[in-house]
Amino acid sequence: MVDSNFQILYSKDRIQERVEALAGEISDYYQHCNEPVVAVCVLKGAFIFFADLFRKLRVQPEIDFVRLASYGEKTYRDEKVVCEKDLEVSIKGKHVLVVEDIVDTGCTIDYFTRHLRERGPISVKVCALVQKRERSEIDVALNFSGFYLERGFVVGYGLDYAEKYRHLEDIWTMPE
């Protein structure tokens, strides 16, 4: 299934505990909002996290999906993030919760939240399963974070390496 030099970083039980806690925080935050809430899943990596989180929320947002791609070296000045599949619902006058798998340099989420804010939402908040600290280039204000990771490349629970390992229930670190 995985190479013998992969190691479990977050077990499936630990992931579910964190997802439950995040769902609680997010529900508390949105439960008194009178306006609609749209939860946006950033494909592909966040799809399992999104499905688990969504089913544990005490609020019922609309859902939508986007696919972002980045090309070449990602730096703040040389931004090469493009939206390959855009939102289908309008977010004007609504609260938006973006659900990402990992925030690493912050370039992807910075680009995407700026793109969203041009469409007149009331608010844009970001929830990431994993927030890395190693290469952080942009001071992205994450509103809800599952785990903080100092370094390393992780797979499993929707996260891939070359389209492999998404099916794993735990999150693993790959050897460097």
Comparing CB distances to ligand 5GP, the nearer of 16 and 75 is 75
CB of 153 to ligand 5GP, least distance (A): 4
Q: If we measure between CA atoms, which residue out of 123, 130, 144 comes closest to residue 56?
A: 144
With CB under 6 A as the contact rule, the residue among 38, 53, 91, 102 that binds ligand 5GP is 102
Is residue 137 within 8 Å of residue 164, measured between CB atoms?
no
By CB under 6 A, how many residues form the interface with ligand 5GP? Answer: 17
What DSSP assignment string belongs to 27-50?
Answer: HHHHTT--S-EEEEEEETTTHHHH
138: left (phi over 0), alpha (psi -120 to 50) or beta: beta
Give CA–CA dist 156/8, Å, rounded.
10
**x-or-dash pattern for ligand 5GP, window 35-54, by CB under 6 A?**
----------x---------
CB of 31 to ligand 5GP, least distance (A): 28
* Given the residues 52, 101, 104, 110, the one annotated as active site: 104
State the DSSP H helix or E strand holding residue 82, giving kind and residue range, or none if neither: strand 81-85
In this chain, which stretch among 10-18, 27-35, 85-93, 104-112 interacts with ligand 5GP, using CB under 6 A? 104-112
- Taking residue 147's Cβ as centre, other Cβ atoms within 10 Å add up to 17
CB of 167 to ligand 5GP, least distance (A): 13
Instruction: Give the residue numbers annotated as catalytic, written as ranges.
Output: 104
Q: Which stretches of the chain bind ligand 5GP, using CB under 6 A?
A: 45, 74, 100-108, 153-155, 159-161
